[in-house]
Amino acid sequence: MDFDRLVADAEMCVRCGLCTSVCPTYNLFHEEIQGPRGRVLLYADYAQGLVPETEKALVLAAAYDCLDCRACQTVCPNGVRPGEAALDTRVALQGGRPKDRLTALALWFFHFPLLVDLANLLLVVYQRSGLQRLLRSSRLLDRLGLKKLAFAESLLPERPVRPALRLTGPRRLEPEGEAKGRVAFFLGCVMNLVFSEASEATVRVIQSAGYQVVIPRETTCCGAPHIEEGDLEGFERLAKRNIALYAGLEVDHIVTDCAACAAELKKYARHFRGDPYWGPLAEKVSSRVLLFSEFLDRAGLPRSIRFPFATTHQHACHACHAQGVKEEPERVLTFVADYRPMEGSTDCCGSAGVYNLTHTSTSMAILEKKMASVRASGAEVLTVENPGCLLQLDLGARRFGPRVEVKHLSQVVWEAMQRGEG
């Protein structure tokens, strides 16, 4: 644990309460320990030995109660970082390893891209065989008392999942029109597993913008799930594999359509800053990373495109709070669609990695509030740039309404481009 940093955060906190005004859990429970201010003070007390070791589990629980949405960090006038402190605390109290065997097994899965591809194929078979429809209509998992598994299954989309882009897509796409540069596309794990059609739309839009696209199939998980679960060792192993791969590519940009991946890739440089070997390589990678909307906002769009449905946008926390990417997707949507701003669009949807699995009731309360904002926007289509949010919001549309179409931003842009050509 970075004890000095935790204590410094607590000392910088002036107890103004701005963080509590944007914290999802504080606004649900109205308890100090469920807000950023209370958590930061607790972490600092533990770091200074003011909390007995017998209460270590309570400190760790407080760290995991945080969604790490970082809205508190956006509004804090003094630069206190409660979201990052929560991750530091998880790592320290777990010794840089997963908290239990089940978590370790789940994280191990992401070390092997082929397992992600295999899971994608199994998901395709699960849907096309009719097993998903049968399982849901019979409510078999609920009847067997497997409520957590039933909820996890409910997160899977009803729309047909397509085979993974890593398996079916090209390794390289040549630019359309005048060549403007070369881009490496970073394949996200869950994007590749569940939303391959969105990633295909992403690379087609990049290609249409005049860029050659290379898609390294050796790409592995960015490490975000591991650091969020306190697995520092797993994170560093994956990060080094990606750094070695992408630092050797001659490209202008590294683009991803996953906000969590973009945030983690950009953080590589800071994480390895003191390492004489990995530090410069990490800086080379991080400095070239762009989230899809960032890239498109810079590259520009053709003038003759229009998406014919009222559209609103949910800002993924890892985009707006972790990276400061907020105006870019709004400008893109304003250009291509009837964009309807949504109240609370930077508030967390409750997905937060696996938070919806570990804190389901809290997550659903946050999601229900989010869907009320979607309804008030009057939109027919809801976009977001993160796979966890896509799964969560799609569930929200089915469970709470309104029955909007939930799409990745790149799908809306690609459909608008195709309509323009027609």
The answer for residues whose C-beta is within 8 angstroms of residue 21's C-beta and 6 or more apart is: 27, 75
Tell me, what's the pLDDT at 419? 83
- Residue listed under structure tokens 């907020």: 326
Sorted by where each starts, the structural domains of the chain and their CATH numbers stand as: 3-93 (1.10.1060.10), 304-421 (3.40.50)
Residue whose C-alpha is closest to residue 218's, from 245, 258, 250, 257: 245
Distance CA 7, CA 152 (A): 37
Tell me, what's the pLDDT at 2? 58
Q: How far is CA 374 from CA 121, 297, 343, in A?
A: 32, 24, 8
Give one DSSP letter per residue of 235-259, joined into a string: HHHHHHHHHHHHHTS--SEEEES-H
Q: Are 90 and 18 in contact (CB under 8 A)?
A: no
Each residue of 347-370: pLDDT tens digit? 999 999 999 999 999 999 999 999
List beta partners, residue 382.
312, 406
Burial of 135 (0-12, 13-18, 19+ CB in 10 A): middle
Helix (H, G, I), strand (E, B) or coil at 74: helix
Helix (H, G, I), strand (E, B) or coil at 274: coil
Q: What's the whole-model pTM score?
A: 0.95
Residue 77 tokens, joined: 């006038």
Cα 266 to chain center, whole Å?
13
The answer for residues whose C-beta is within 8 angstroms of residue 262's C-beta and 6 or more apart is: 256, 289, 290, 291, 294, 318, 319, 323, 325
Q: Give the strands of the sheet with 405-408, arranged side by side.
A: 337-339, 307-313, 381-384, 405-408
Tell me, what's the pLDDT at 421? 62
Distance CA 253, CA 368 (A): 37
Give one DSSP letter per residue of 13-39, joined into a string: -----HHHHH-HHHHHH--GGGSHHHH
Within 13 A of 136's CA, how many CA atoms are on the CB side?
14
List beta partners, residue 407.
383
Tell me, what's the pLDDT at 422? 46
Helix (H, G, I), strand (E, B) or coil at 311: strand
The answer for residues whose C-beta is within 8 angstroms of residue 31's C-beta and 6 or more apart is: 38
Q: Give the strands of the sheet with 172-173, arranged side by side.
A: 172-173, 211-214, 181-185, 253-256, 289-291
Tell me, what's the pLDDT at 11? 82
List beta partners, residue 312.
382
List beta partners, residue 183.
213, 253
- In the chain (422 residues long), the average pLDDT of successive 10-residue segments reads 70 91 97 95 92 94 97 95 94 93 94 95 96 95 94 94 92 93 96 96 96 96 96 97 97 98 97 96 98 96 85 98 97 95 98 96 98 98 98 98 97 92 54
Neighbours of 313 (CB within 10 A): 27
